[in-house]
Amino acid sequence: MEKIVAYLRESIADEVFSKNEKRSLRALVEELSPDEQQLAFLRSRLFALANEKINSTNQAFILEWLKAGVSALTIPSSTNSEVYFSPGETCGDAIVRNIAQSTTSLHICVFTISDDRITKSLLTAHQRGVKIQLITDNDKSLDLGSDIQQLKRAGIPTRMDATPNHMHHKFMIVDSRAVITGSYNWTRSAARFNQENILVTRETSVIKSFQEEFEKLWQEMKPE
Task: Name the active-site residue from 22, 140, 170, 208.
Answer: 170
Task: Name the active-site residue from 175, 208, 216, 222.
Answer: 175
In this structure, the number of other CB atoms found within 10 A of the CB of residue 219 comes to: 8
Does residue 175 carry a catalytic annotation? yes
Quote the CA–CA distance of 52 and 9 in Å, as a whole number.
11
Sheet holding 105-110, edge to edge: 81-86, 196-201, 178-181, 170-174, 105-110, 131-137, 158-161, 222-223
Does residue 3 carry a catalytic annotation? no
Does residue 107 carry a catalytic annotation? no
Instruction: Give one DSSP letter per residue of 74-90, joined into a string.
Output: ---GGGSEEEEEESSSH
Task: Name the active-site residue from 67, 168, 216, 222.
Answer: 168
Q: Which residues pair with residue 199 across a beta bridge?
A: 83, 181
Q: Helix or strand or coil: residue 203?
A: coil
State the catalytic residues. 168, 170, 175
